[in-house]
Each structure stands twice: as C-alpha cells, then as structure tokens.
Structure 1
Amino acid sequence: MKNPTVGKHEAEDLKKIVEKVIKGLGNPKPPLDLRDVRELLKLDVRYYSSTNDSFLQETISRMKIAGKQIIKRPSLLLDVVKKAKLSALWIPDHKRILIDESTPKLKHRWFEGHEIGHGLAPWHKLFLFGDNQETLGQGCHEQLEAEANFAAGQLLFLQDRFVIEGNDNQANMKTVLQLSEVFGNTKTSTLWRFVEECHEDKFLVGVISQHPHHPKNDFDALAPIKHLVESPGFKEQFGNINVFNLFASIKKYCSRNKGGPLGTAMIRLLDVNGDAHDFRFESFSNSYECLTLGVYVRKVGIIF
C-alpha cells in the first residue's frame, strides 16, 4: 500500500494548526511530552480492552452517565471498534482518546498522536462515526486517516525541527534510528517521516514489511509490502515501481537475523521513462517489522 497524498490546502491548514499548538507549548525541545499536549488541549486519554466486550460496554456506559452524548447512536461506537478492530479512536464530543490496552505499548504514542490529529482537524468531526455513504466510503476513510497521520507527524516530530536535523545528517538508516531516539518516536514512524520530508534533493523510498525470511501467519504473498512510503520526487519519477520485484530484491540481501541490521545492497529501479537508476537499500528489523530505506545513487541508462 502506497502512502496516500494529503491535499495541498489541507496540509497547509494542518501545519498552521499544529504550529499554534507547538507555540502554545513554548516551542519545546524533543522529545515532545504528550502530557503537556493533553493539558493544553484539555484532552482525556483512556484505555479499553478490545478482547473484553463487557469492559468496552462499561466504558461507553460511563461516558453516557457522565452526561455527555458521544454520538447520536452510542451503540455505533461499540460496533465500530469491534468490526473495524481499531487500535485507538477519537471521541469528538467528549474530547477523549481511547486506546486498546492490548496493543504494543511502543505504539501507544503514535496512536495517541494520530487521534490528536483527528481532533486538530475541525472538519473531521463532521465525518467520524457517521453512517452515510460518503462517510463510510473507503476513499473518504483513507483520506481522513492520511490527514490524521500527517498532523501526528507534524506534532510528534515538532515540524521543521525534525526536517532540519534530518537534513543535517546523511540519508541512511543510521540517521533514522538516531532521530527515533532523539524525538522519542517509533522507528517505523521516524522512517516514514524521514522519507516524506527530509533530503528533498534526493529520491527516497521506504518499505515497511514483514521480515522476508520470517513471515507471520497473516503474510499475504499478493501484498508483500505493507507500506510503500515515497518521497514526492520518487513518487513522480518512479510511480510505476513493481512491489513484487522490489520485495524479492530486498529478500535476497537480507540476513536471517530476527533483529537489528539485516544488510545493504544496490538495487536497480526503472523510472517512468524506462531509464535505470541505482539505489542503495538497507534494512533493519525492529523485531516487529522489517524497515527498509532506499536512497538514490546514480542514473545508469536505458534498458532495452
């Protein structure tokens, strides 16, 4: 799945909103403390169990007892969580974020940032938990999620501060891992943000997948790459990339180690005009996923 593009106007609006939040926090140094964000925005974060219906039902009941109607049909919230298998969700009328306590704690920070992103986009309140065809459409859902991810990235990575630090260092996996520690975010989200916004003078691509040599039971051979993250320049010049060939090439050089660095290699990719270009790829396993960064090296020529 390729990273969806956020509209120009929506991106500009979200940047301005996040900028106000960061200024309201006094332009803090990384890592951003989400407790300060909650206090500034008057947000409430609670945890629920997706594996215990009674616990989730009790959570909803308590919210109703508090005297605030969450949505027109409160039972819809329970249906949404159960059917969509959500890891977290945003309750607009209650300014509350619910996070599934059974999910890995390392991801809770991103889940919270993502739901804050929904809350920062004023137009999202019109769509969340709706039941009309427009709201339930897949295209609309993906757009809302992309905008929430964009806002979360702007907030958790303190906007230009991350870009400046990324550009001050080399475009490689070592830099991604270092920035993950500095900003206190997951390696996966750091790779995503690095590819999309750092080193605009280079073609960058990120691949998030299962470990090529240790696939899980839910591995889908028809969709071997979970997320293909493209820099704006890469998306324009290499938008026709074959994900099956790319995954196969990554698998060739990756070691069977279950964690840490998995290897590096030069991989040749064709651009939209059929010209060949060499990219330096390197992969790293965080024990949950295989993270791969591809950085442009040189043009080779036309393949006949």
Structure 2
Amino acid sequence: MRNVSLGHRTIADIDGQVAKVLRGLGNSEPPLDLRIVRDLLKLDRGYYSTTDDSLLRETLSRMKVAGRQVLLRPTILRDAVRSLSLKALYLPDQKRILLDQDLPALKHRWNEAHEIGHDIIPWHVGMMLGDTEQTLTPACHEVMEAEANYAAGQILFLAERFAAEATASAPSLGLVRNLSKAFGNTMTSTLWRFVEQAHGGRPIVALVTGHPHPARRKADFDAANPCRYCVESPPFRERFGGLKETDLFAAIAGYCGSQSGGSLGQSEIILPDRNGDPHLFGFETFFNRHEALTLGLWLKPHARGRAVQGL
C-alpha cells in the first residue's frame, strides 16, 4: 500500500493546527508526553479489549453521543470492532479516545496520536458525525486516515524539530533507529516520517514488508501484494512513481540474507525513472523480527548498465 499524497493546502492547514498545539505545550522536548497533549485539548482516554468480551461489552454499553446511548445493541458495534480490526476509536461528541488495550504499548502511542489528529482537524469532526454518501466512500475514508496520520506524525515528531535533526546527518537506517529512540516512537513510524519529511528534495523510498528471503517468508505471503507499506518521498513519487511494488520487493529480495534479525544486507540497485533513464540507488534492509524495513536512497544518474530486470 502506497502512502497517500496530500495537497499543499491541506498540509498547510494541518500544520497550522499542529502549530497551535505545540505552541500551547511550550518548548517541549522529545519524546513528547501525550498526557499533556490530552490535557491541553481536554481529551479523555479509555481502553477496550477485543479479546475480553465482558470489558468490550461494558465499554460499548457506556458509549453515549449527545447524551444518548449509541446503540441499543452494543454487540453490533462490538462485532464491527472485531471484524474491522479497529485499533482505536474516537468519539467526537465526548472528546474521548478509546484504545485497544491488547496492542503493544508502543503502538498505543501512534494510535492515540492518530485519534488526536482527527480531533484537531476541523473538517473531520463534521464528517465523522455525518452520514452522507460522501463520508462513507472508501476514497474519502482513505484521505481522512492519511490526514490524521500526517497530523499524528507532526505532533509526535514535533514538526520541524524532526526534519532539522534528520537532515543534519547522512541518511541511513542507523539514523532512523537513533531518531526512533530520541523521539520515543516506533522505527516503522520514524522511517515513514523520515521519507516524507527529511528527503531534502531527494528521491527516497521505504518498504515495510515481511522477511524478503524466500526461506523466511510466512505461509500467507502474497506475491502479488508483498509490501505492507511503500512510502515514497514527493521527489520519488514524481520521478519514479511508475515502479511497481512487486518489482521493488523483488529487487531487495535479491540481496537480503536469511538472518532471523538485524541487518539483512545492502546493495546498489539501478532503477529507471518515468522516462526510462537509469539511476543508481543505495538500498539497505533491517529485520526487527516482526517486519523488514527497507530504505532506498537516490545516489546519482547511471549512464551505463541496465535497470533491474522487470523494472
């Protein structure tokens, strides 16, 4: 799944809302404490469990909107939470965030920030409470989720603070790992933010996948959809956006070892741009025992040689 490209005006509007929040917090240092963000925005946080039927039923039975119970049969929403694998919920009328307590604590952080993003984006509240055909379309939902993700990233990574620190050193997965620790966020979310915000005008791509080595792939590996995420910097999307995720995955699988964790390898790979001209990229892949994180950096035009077969 490729990252959704937001318009410049949308980004500017969200940046303005995030700036208000960060100003209200003063000069916060990373990692940001989301408790003070909730206090500033007067948000409440609770938990539900998709594995504890009694807790989920009790939580949903207490949910009210405008003073009225959401559903006479909370089991309907409970089943929806489970079938859709929802990781968090935001109730605009109550200014209440609900998190799935069965997820790892570090993932709570991103999910909570995502729901805070919905809260601070003015046009989301009306759309979330509405019931029009437009608000129910998958395309509209995808854009709203991308907007909330962008807001979450700007909050958790303190907006320009992250970009300044990320561009002060040579790009690498090692740098991404250090930034992840400094800002208190997962390496996956840091890699995503790194590609989108710290590219400095350079074509960069990141892949989040299962283990690329054939011997390490899970039984449910889907060769037609090998990437959980494919994150492209704006320059990469503009110049190399025609490349298929399957071909990018095949390229990294060509150099990745079968190690059970840590670095899986690195290699220089030739990729064609939209005009068919070859360019040299430096790729490296790290496996955290759950998913493989790959970073690909544009190095220079390649005057000779062929692009990776199939690209």
TM-score range, shorter chain: over 0.9
1:191 maps to what in 2? 191
1:261 maps to what in 2? 263
Q: What are structure 1's unaligned runs of at least 5 residues?
A: none
Q: 1:33 to 1:141 in 2, by over 3 A?
A: same
Q: Secondary structure at the match of 2:140?
A: helix
**What CA distance in whole angstroms lies between the structure 2 residues aligned with 1:287 and 1:239?**
29
Q: Within 5 A, what are the aligned runs for 1:1-304?
A: 1-64=1-64, 68-69=67-68, 75=74, 77-78=77-78, 80-128=80-128, 130-213=130-213, 214-301=216-303
Aligned-pair identity (%)? 49
Q: What are structure 2's unaligned runs of at least 5 residues?
A: none
CA drift at 1:127: 2.3
| Amino acid in structure 2 at the alignment position of 1:286 | N
| Amino acid in structure 1 at the alignment position of 2:104 | P
| Amino acid in structure 2 at the alignment position of 1:97 | I
| Amino acid in structure 2 at the alignment position of 1:240 | G
| Amino acid in structure 1 at the alignment position of 2:226 | P
CA-atom RMSD, angstroms? 2.1
Q: 1:67 to 1:199 in 2, by over 3 A?
A: closer
Q: Secondary structure at the match of 2:230?
A: strand
**What CA distance in whole angstroms lies between the structure 1 residues aligned with 2:133 and 2:79?**
17
| Amino acid in structure 2 at the alignment position of 1:220 | D
Q: Secondary structure at the match of 2:266?
A: strand
| Per-residue CA distance 1:280-301 (angstroms, 9 max, x = gap) | 0001112221100001111113
Higher deviation after alignment, 157-166 or 77-86: 77-86
CA drift at 1:71: 5.1
Q: Secondary structure at the match of 1:2?
A: coil
| Per-residue CA distance 1:79-135 (angstroms, 9 max, x = gap) | 542332101111111111111111222211111111111111121112226544322
**What CA distance in whole angstroms lies between the structure 1 residues aligned with 2:123 and 2:263?**
42
| Amino acid in structure 2 at the alignment position of 1:96 | R
| Amino acid in structure 1 at the alignment position of 2:290 | Y
Q: Secondary structure at the match of 1:301?
A: coil
Scaled by the length of structure 1, what TM-score is found? 0.93
Q: Secondary structure at the match of 1:296?
A: strand
CA drift at 1:52: 3.3
Superposed structure 1 runs of 4+ greater than 4 Å apart: 70-77
CA drift at 1:190: 0.3
| Amino acid in structure 2 at the alignment position of 1:167 | T
| Amino acid in structure 2 at the alignment position of 1:216 | K
Contact 1:31-1:184 at 8 Å conserved across structures: yes
**What CA distance in whole angstroms lies between the structure 2 residues aligned with 1:6 and 1:217?**
35
Q: 1:77 to 1:172 in 2, by over 3 A?
A: same
| Per-residue CA distance 1:6-62 (angstroms, 9 max, x = gap) | 222221111011111111111201110111111111111111111234322210222
Contact 2:62-2:69 at 8 Å conserved across structures: no
Q: 1:37 to 1:73 in 2, by over 3 A?
A: farther
CA drift at 1:258: 2.1
Count of residues paired in the alignment:
303
